[in-house]
């Protein structure tokens, strides 16, 4: 009994995000002119999975008390790269997918390497590498366009057995083969220790450097997976700085809504997935309630600001004023 | 008992001249000028140099504000839309109120930027949110406001004569007004940082906020003021940029965020706060402007420019901005 209470307490943020998402999704569906059909669910899932993947990517550096401002740029880079090389036969397409994911992981590894061995701050590093990745994306695709292997794209954005949106299955598979093994591995637990207190973690013999390197590398990989899904959705690539910026900001907000502490050491990527779903549903709600398009950017901005301000709840729990300054 | 000898304050200029980052930055500037001169003689002509200084003035004013925020160990990512906000509110105000509007347009633009800074400061100081995240959210909110403002009210967007005059006029010995304004802003910032109690508090908060708080410094007030100055400076630069390009337009501040932060950091200001001086920021601003100019002369496409930007910033930071090894 105590164990259950402990678990609920421990996952409060995650449960709140799931609850919020379910309530909002029910409101959305009940106001939708068509209602819950397979097509509506697939469209919603296809859009939500993009942000969910980028939010998962953002979670890993945040857990180590870092931040990756380049996730949006890696997302866009993968999109542009995929629109060039994921073409031809199915075999060539699959090879292209591997290359895109590898490029994302490499971009993440570069971030991690500069942060770990270069000993630079994560924010400034990822701001600078983000500019580089955007430049490369622009080099690959100066104007919007391109194509993608249509068999794979149709499969990835369709339904399995005619009912389950494939994108949800893809997300589930990624959670099962990337997040859960990572979470239970030594570097995964080390990442949480580093986020809580890097000095203490170092003194206890935790592999600090390996934990950080792996966190940023996996972040690049997940962001690239998101960019790949974007290509399957749009059948084209576009090097757009505004889209990259939006995804970076939304990913941070999703991480916060999902109950991960921005001060590191606490949270999970599964929470971030539901945080992303919540943000996506808010956008869909604006659509079904027919909000004036002119008001939408302001409304979304306020929602994001409010979401990240959830982190301020920490101030209420603090017993000693000096803890504020850590 | 002998007085402890502090290396600070007696001859600040002397101390600065031995700053490694400053030497590297100025060496790079000279190397770039001579490298450019090999490419075209124009690079060393007074006219070209004055023009570069005029363009760098806009970045310099933004960087002055950004530096205040970085010195207290925070960062202001709301710069892009604060610049746009300043430009748009100034031109719109001039359109709404005719002659009075023309007179008050510039102060109103700056005031709007200061208000954004105030909100940033409150969020960071009282809600204790990480500044990079709160200001990023603020940026989105201001963007939403500006979309609503330009779409809903169709305000005037062309600059007033005064704004145009301040940005491109050269009434005194051919020295651009924009450069003179940067000199004034720079002198004010230097005075604030080196000759006032507020400046000392800024460095104190940047070094260790808890220690500053226990010494009786109202750290929240220092944080809020720094963000207000940053917002005001960004909006002022926006007003001048509107004068320079004769109109205010969406996303006009977007190309200024990374260069401004880069200029401050390349100038030797510690990204974690507490260390840095204005001379370094001047060097950083000129360095970035020259780099942009040379890339433009070489007709480098946008893609290449972004990549070179990133590489240059990382290379300079790796040369002298590294953290300490984790060995304690």
Domain ranges of chain B: 47-318
pLDDT of residue B118: 96
Listed by number, the residues of chain A in 12-41 with a beta carbon closer than 8 Å to a beta carbon of chain B are none
CATH number for A147: 1.10.3470
Do B306 and A132 make contact, defined as CB atoms within 8 angstroms? yes
Residue A223 has pLDDT above 90, yes or no: yes
d(CA B92, CA B148): 13
Q: If pLDDT is split at 50, 70 and 90, which confidence band does B324 have?
A: low
Backbone phi, psi, residue A37, to 5°? -115, 170
Residues of A in contact with B265 (CB under 8 A): 124
Instruction: Please state, in angstroms and as integers, the Cα–Cα distance from residue A216 to each residue in A56, A98, A219, following that order.
Output: 12, 18, 5
Which comes out higher in pLDDT, residue B198 or B170? Answer: B198
In a domain, A214, yes or no: yes
Do A135 and B134 make contact, defined as CB atoms within 8 angstroms? no
Instruction: Please state, in angstroms and as integers, the Cα–Cα distance from residue B75 to each residue in A255, B230, B264, following that order.
Output: 20, 10, 11
Residue A98 has pLDDT above 60, yes or no: yes
pLDDT of residue A289: 80
The average pLDDT across B156-177 equals: 80
pLDDT of residue A306: 86
Do A308 and B133 make contact, defined as CB atoms within 8 angstroms? yes
Q: If pLDDT is split at 50, 70 and 90, which confidence band does B9 have?
A: very low
- For residue range B45-54, what is the model confidence (pLDDT) as tens digits? 888 888 888 8
Backbone phi, psi, residue B247, to 5°? -155, 160
In angstroms, what separates the C-alpha of B6 from chain A's closest C-alpha? 27
Q: How many CA atoms lie within 13 A of B11 on its CB side?
A: 4
CA-nearest of A281, A317, A318, A313 to A32 is A281
Q: What percent of chain B has pLDDT over 90?
A: 37
* Long-range pairs of B285-289 with CB within 8 A, sequence gap ≥ 24: B285/B56, B285/B59, B285/B60, B285/B63, B286/B29, B286/B52, B286/B53, B286/B56, B287/B25, B287/B28, B287/B29, B287/B32, B287/B263, B288/B56, B288/B59, B288/B259, B288/B262, B288/B263, B289/B52, B289/B55, B289/B56, B289/B59
pLDDT of residue B10: 43
pLDDT of residue B321: 65
Residue A40 has pLDDT above 90, yes or no: no
- For residue range A110-140, what is the model confidence (pLDDT) as tens digits? 999 999 998 888 888 998 999 999 999 999 9
Do A311 and B129 make contact, defined as CB atoms within 8 angstroms? yes
Query: Which of B147, B262, B265 is facing A294, going by the closest CB pair?
Result: B147
The average pLDDT across A159-174 equals: 87
Do B127 and A315 make contact, defined as CB atoms within 8 angstroms? yes
Do B210 and A124 make contact, defined as CB atoms within 8 angstroms? no
Listed by number, the residues of chain A in 116-145 with a beta carbon closer than 8 Å to a beta carbon of chain B are 118-121, 123-125, 127-132, 134-139, 142
Lowest mean pLDDT among A49-58, A309-318, B16-25, B231-240: B16-25
Do B314 and A120 make contact, defined as CB atoms within 8 angstroms? yes
The average pLDDT across A160-177 equals: 88
Q: Which of A177-181, A261-265, B243-247 has the highest mean pLDDT?
A: A177-181
- For residue range A281-324, what is the model confidence (pLDDT) as tens digits? 888 888 788 778 788 888 888 888 888 787 777 777 777 777 77
pLDDT of residue B113: 95
Residues of B in contact with A301 (CB under 8 A): 137, 140-145
Query: With the CA atoms of A128, B50, B159 and B246 taken in that order, what torsion angle do they form, in degrees rounded to the nearest 10?
Result: -80
For chain B, the straight-line distance linking the first and the last C-alpha, in angstroms and rounded, comes to 33
Do A135 and B261 make contact, defined as CB atoms within 8 angstroms? no
Q: If pLDDT is split at 50, 70 and 90, which confidence band does B17 have?
A: very low
pLDDT of residue A326: 62
Question: What is chain B's mean pLDDT, rounded?
Answer: 85
Query: Which of B133, B147, B210 is facing A262, going by the closest CB pair?
Result: B133
d(CA A66, CA A59): 9
Cβ-in-10-Å burial (0-12, 13-18, 19+) of B7 comes to exposed
Nearest CA in chain A to B137: A305
Lowest mean pLDDT among A217-226, B19-28, B203-212: B19-28
In a domain, A37, yes or no: yes
Instruction: Please state, in angstroms and as integers, the Cα–Cα distance from residue A214 to each residue in A126, A186, A187, A210, B312, following that order.
Output: 15, 11, 7, 6, 26
In angstroms, what separates the C-alpha of B318 from chain A's closest C-alpha? 6
In a domain, A23, yes or no: yes
In angstroms, what separates the C-alpha of B156 from chain A's closest C-alpha? 18
Suggest the residue from A136, A203, A297, A321 to mutate for an interface test with chain B (most B CBs closer than 10 A): A297
For residues B206 and B20, is the Cβ–Cβ distance under 8 A? no
pLDDT of residue A285: 85
In a domain, A5, yes or no: no
d(CA B214, CA B221): 14
In angstroms, what separates the C-alpha of B169 from chain A's closest C-alpha? 34
Residues of A in contact with B210 (CB under 8 A): 322, 325-326
- For residue range B63-76, what is the model confidence (pLDDT) as tens digits? 999 999 999 989 99
- For residue range A65-97, what is the model confidence (pLDDT) as tens digits? 888 999 999 999 999 999 998 888 888 889 999
Residue A221 has pLDDT above 90, yes or no: yes
Q: Which of A129-138, B146-155, B157-166, B270-279 has the highest mean pLDDT?
A: A129-138
Do B132 and A302 make contact, defined as CB atoms within 8 angstroms? no
Q: Which residues pair with A7 in a beta bridge?
A: none
Residue A8 has pLDDT above 80, yes or no: no
Task: Count other Cβ atoms within 10 Å, centred on residue A190.
Answer: 23
**Does the structure's ipTM exceed the value 0.90?**
no
Residue B14 has pLDDT above 80, yes or no: no
The average pLDDT across B142-156 equals: 84
Inform me whether the C-beta atom of residue A308 falls under 8 Å from chain B C-beta atoms: yes
Question: What is chain A's mean pLDDT, rounded?
Answer: 87
Residue A6 has pLDDT above 50, yes or no: yes
Query: Which of A118, A142, A301 is facing B143, going by the closest CB pair?
Result: A301
Task: Find the domain containing A204 and state its range.
Answer: 10-312
Listed by number, the residues of chain A in 48-87 with a beta carbon closer than 8 Å to a beta carbon of chain B are 67, 69
Domain count, chain A: 1
A115: helix, strand or coil: helix
Listed by number, the residues of chain A in 205-224 with a beta carbon closer than 8 Å to a beta carbon of chain B are 208
Q: What percent of chain B has pLDDT over 70?
A: 92
In a domain, A21, yes or no: yes
Chain Cα centroid distance, residue B217: 26
A vs B: CB pairs below 8 A: 170
Query: Taking phi first (over 0 means left), then psi (-120 to 50 degrees means alpha), and beta for anything else, what does residue A264 get?
Result: left
Q: What is the DSSP string of A229-264?
A: HHHHHHSSB---HHHHHHHHHHHHHHHHHTT--TTS
In a domain, A296, yes or no: yes
pLDDT of residue B11: 45
Residues of A in contact with B129 (CB under 8 A): 262, 308-309, 311-312
The average pLDDT across B143-152 equals: 87
Nearest CA in chain B to A205: B327
A145: helix, strand or coil: strand
Residue B26 has pLDDT above 90, yes or no: no
Chain Cα centroid distance, residue B269: 13
Nearest CA in chain B to A322: B210
Lowest mean pLDDT among A102-106, A134-138, B298-302: B298-302
- Say how many residues make up chain B: 328
Do A305 and B324 make contact, defined as CB atoms within 8 angstroms? no
pLDDT of residue A3: 76
Q: If pLDDT is split at 50, 70 and 90, which confidence band does B325 have?
A: low
For residues A202 and A99, is the Cβ–Cβ distance under 8 A? no
For residues B59 and B185, is the Cβ–Cβ distance under 8 A? no
Do A135 and B262 make contact, defined as CB atoms within 8 angstroms? no
In angstroms, what separates the C-alpha of A161 from chain B's closest C-alpha? 41
pLDDT of residue A57: 95
Domain B47-318 part of CATH 1.10.3470: yes
The average pLDDT across B259-270 equals: 87
The average pLDDT across B108-137 equals: 91
């Amino acid at each position: 009994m105590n164990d259950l209470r402990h678990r609920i307490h421990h996952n409060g943020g995650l449960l709140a995000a799931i609850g919020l998402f379910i309530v909002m999704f029910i409101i959305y569906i009940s106001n939708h002119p068509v209602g819950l059909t397979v097509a509506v669910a697939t469209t919603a899932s296809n859009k939500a999975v993009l942000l969910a993947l980028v939010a998962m990517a953002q979670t890993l550096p945040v857990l180590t008390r870092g931040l990756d401002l380049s996730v949006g740029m890696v997302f866009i880079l993968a999109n542009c790269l995929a629109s060039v090389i994921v073409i031809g036969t199915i075999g060539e397409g699959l090879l292209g997918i591997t290359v895109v994911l590898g490029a994302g992981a490499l971009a993440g590894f570069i971030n991690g390497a500069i942060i770990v061995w270069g000993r630079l701050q994560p924010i400034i590093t990822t701001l600078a590498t983000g500019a580089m990745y955007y430049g490369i994306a622009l080099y690959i695709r100066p104007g919007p366009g391109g194509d993608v292997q249509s068999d794979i794209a149709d499969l990835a954005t369709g339904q399995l057995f005619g009912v389950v949106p494939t994108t949800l299955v893809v997300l589930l598979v990624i959670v099962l083969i990337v997040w859960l093994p990572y979470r239970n591995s030594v570097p995964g637990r080390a990442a949480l220790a580093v986020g809580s207190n890097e000095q203490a973690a170092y003194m206890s013999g935790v592999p600090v450097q390996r934990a950080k390197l792996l966190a940023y590398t996996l972040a690049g990989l997940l962001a690239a997976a998101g960019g790949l899904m974007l290509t399957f959705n749009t059948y084209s690539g576009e090097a757009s700085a505004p889209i990259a910026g939006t995804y970076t900001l939304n990913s941070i907000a999703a991480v916060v809504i999902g109950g991960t502490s921005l001060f590191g050491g606490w949270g999970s990527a599964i929470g971030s997935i539901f945080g992303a779903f919540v943000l996506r549903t808010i956008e869909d709600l604006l659509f079904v309630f027919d909000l004036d398009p002119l008001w939408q950017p302001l409304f979304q901005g306020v929602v994001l600001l409010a979401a990240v301000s959830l982190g301020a709840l920490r101030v209420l729990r603090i017993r000693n004023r000096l803890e504020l300054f850590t | 008992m002998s007085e402890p000898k502090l290396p600070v304050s007696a001859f600040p200029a002397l101390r600065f001249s031995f700053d490694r980052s400053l030497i590297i930055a100025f060496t790079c500037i000279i190397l770039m000028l001579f490298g450019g001169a090999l490419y075209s003689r124009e690079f060393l002509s007074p006219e070209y140099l004055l023009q570069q200084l005029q363009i760098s003035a806009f970045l310099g004013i933004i960087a002055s504000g950004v530096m205040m925020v970085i010195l207290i160990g925070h960062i202001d990512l709301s710069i892009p839309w604060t610049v746009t906000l300043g430009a748009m509110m100034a031109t719109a105000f001039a359109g709404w109120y005719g002659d009075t509007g023309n007179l008050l347009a510039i102060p109103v633009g700056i005031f709007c930027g200061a208000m954004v800074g105030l909100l940033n400061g409150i969020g960071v100081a009282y809600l204790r949110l990480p500044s990079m995240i709160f200001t990023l959210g603020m940026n989105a909110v201001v963007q939403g406001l500006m979309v609503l403002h330009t779409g809903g009210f169709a305000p005037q967007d062309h600059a007033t004569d005064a704004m145009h005059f301040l940005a491109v006029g050269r009434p005194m010995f051919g020295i651009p007004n924009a450069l003179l304004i940067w000199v004034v802003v720079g002198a004010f910032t230097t005075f604030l940082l080196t000759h006032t109690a507020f400046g000392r508090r800024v460095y104190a908060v940047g070094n260790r906020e808890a220690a500053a708080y226990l010494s009786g410094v109202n750290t929240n007030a220092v944080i809020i003021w720094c963000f207000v100055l940053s917002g005001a400076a960004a909006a002022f630069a926006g007003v001048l940029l509107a004068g320079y390009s004769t109109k205010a337009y969406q996303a006009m501040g977007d190309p200024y965020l990374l260069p401004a932060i880069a200029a401050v950091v390349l100038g030797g200001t510690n990204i974690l706060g507490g260390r840095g001086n204005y001379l370094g920021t001047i060097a950083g601003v000129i360095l970035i402007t020259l780099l942009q100019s040379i890339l433009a002369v070489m007709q480098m496409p946008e893609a290449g420019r972004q990549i070179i930007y990133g590489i240059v910033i990382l290379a300079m930071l790796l040369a002298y901005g590294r953290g300490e090894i984790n060995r304690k």
